[in-house]
C-alpha cells in the first residue's frame, strides 16, 4: 500500500463490513500536502455501528489508518458525517 487512495480503500472495506446498508457507504478523500482528510457518510441507521459505544469503533478505525499513514510519513484525519 503506497498511495493515499489506500487509506480510502481500507476505510471503505472496514465500514462496509460493519454496516447493514453497505451500498450507502460513501468515503470522500481530500489531500493537503502531508495530511489526508477522509469523510465517512453512512445511512442514519448505521451511524451507531460505525461510531460504536463511546466511539470505540471509529477510534479503532482511526488507529489503523494512522498506522498506515505513519509508515508513509503522512497524517490522516477521519471524520464521520
CA distance 71 to 76: 12
Q: Are 21 and 45 spatial neighbours (Cβ–Cβ below 8 Å)? A: yes
Domain containing 21 — which CATH number? 3.30.300.20
pLDDT at 1: 45
Q: How many domains does the chain have?
A: 1
Per-residue pLDDT tens digits of the chain, which is 81 residues long: 456 678 899 999 999 999 999 999 999 999 887 789 999 999 999 999 999 999 999 999 999 999 999 998 889 999 999
Range of the domain at 36: 5-80
Its sign, for the CA torsion 75, 13, 38, 43, is: negative
Beta bridge partners of 40: 27, 80
Amino acid at each position: 500500500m503506497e498511495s493515499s487512495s489506500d487509506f480510502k480503500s481500507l476505510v471503505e472495506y472496514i465500514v462496509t463490513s460493519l454496516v447493514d446498508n453497505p451500498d450507502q457507504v460513501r468515503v470522500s478523500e481530500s489531500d493537503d500536502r502531508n495530511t489526508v482528510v477522509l469523510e465517512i457518510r453512512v445511512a442514519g441507521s448505521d451511524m451507531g455501528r460505525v461510531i460504536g459505544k463511546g466511539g470505540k469503533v471509529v477510534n479503532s478505525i482511526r488507529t489503523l489508518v494512522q498506522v498506515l499513514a505513519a509508515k508513509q510519513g503522512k497524517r490522516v484525519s477521519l471524520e464521520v458525517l
